[in-house]
Amino acid sequence: MPEGDTIFLAAATLRRALVGGTVTRFESVFPKLTRVDADHPIAGRTIDAVTARGKHLLIAFSGDLTLRTHMRMNGVWHVYPSGARWRRPARDMRIVIETARAAAVAFSVPVAEFLTARELARHVQLRSLGPDLLADDFDAADAARRMRAQGEVAIADVLLSQHVVAGIGNVFKSEVLFLSRINPFTPMSAVSDTAIEDVLAIARRVMRASVRIGTRTTRSSLDPGGRLWVYGRGGRPCRRCGTLIQTKKTGDAARITYWCPHCQPAAESLA
């Protein structure tokens, strides 16, 4: 699933290509979008803004209309010069927004809807999001309070909850906990306030660094395969101590957690 850094970068790319332009073509395979387009045409509207909220991408048009998309596991936005050939097959197209100079195409995006400003303000999923780690006004105190309130829930599951803190996905979850030296299955009740503050600070630092560099990374390495500490390295030696990296599927979605049992010992191992 795309994580907050991917959505943030996608929004920046779409913003550079589209904002200020007038829509010359709108197309979608989603009936709800095409019905809105039929009644209130998107063509002729100006694209006013493109923003990211956690894992949600918002494209605002003139005339009080915003398109919300969520990538889920496989969705992606591409930007092409108008008239250029797409790099993905047309069967994967879900939305096309074109201006005189650029075309934005959403491929395999499963969630899309148009919202008015009133609907946007009342949107259940958007209103329930926790503080966005990549936002300039990230509220670390609120994020820490939300984490602390999770009680006996394992910290790995807490970090994936977008209602607690927005933007972290499975990759950064494992990487941030490794950098914090916290066992992923530690209940929040056993995590100190200082440790929570450190986790949030590390998460914000590595995610913002990934956005700045333009590629997901949590460690300095010239090797493209060496940019992460533990994620995707199950059964291989820890880059820090040499212990074999462990893996475990957890949660309803059976997401895989990666950790080093030596660098991130279980709480009882610390006694």
Among residues 70, 69, 48, 53, the alpha carbon closest in space to that of 114 is found at 69
Residue of 250 and 199 predicted with greater confidence: 199
* Domain boundaries along the sequence of the chain: 4-127, 140-270
Would you state the pLDDT for residue 72?
Answer: 83
Whether the Cβ atoms of residue 1 and residue 169 lie closer than 8 Å to each other = yes
Instruction: Report the C-alpha gap between 196 and 148 in whole angstroms.
Output: 8
Strands, E assignment, 162-270: 246-250, 255-259
Tell me which residue of 141, 95, 113 sits closest to 56, measured CA to CA. Answer: 113
For the domain spanning 140-270, the CATH number is 1.10.8.50
220 contact partners, CB below 8 Å, separation of at least 6: none
Domain 4-127 shares a fold with domain 140-270:
no
- Interval 194-230: pLDDT, tens: 999 999 999 999 999 988 888 888 987 666 678 999 9
CB atoms within 10 A of CB 216: 21
Which tops the pLDDT comparison, 170 or 251?
A: 170
Which residue would you say has higher pLDDT here, 270 or 239?
239
Query: Distance between CA atoms of 105 and 29, rounded to whole angstroms?
Result: 12
Catalytic annotation present for 248: no
pLDDT average, residue stretch 1-15: 86
- Decide if pLDDT at 2 tops 80: no
Highest mean pLDDT among 78-92, 208-222, 248-262: 78-92
Residue 201: helix, strand or coil by DSSP?
Answer: helix
**H helices of 149-213, where?**
155-160, 170-180, 193-213
Of 3.30.70.141, 3.90.1150.10, 3.20.190.10, 3.50.50.60, which CATH number belongs to 4-127? 3.20.190.10
224 has catalytic annotation: no
Cβ atoms of 134 and 208 closer than 8 Å: yes
Catalytic pick from 27, 32, 41, 55?
55
pLDDT digit string, tens, across residues 142-193: 999 999 999 999 999 999 999 999 989 899 999 999 999 999 999 999 999 9
The amino acid that residue 16 corresponds to is R
- Whether 98 is a known active-site residue: answer no
Which residue in 2, 98, 173, 175 is the catalytic one? 2
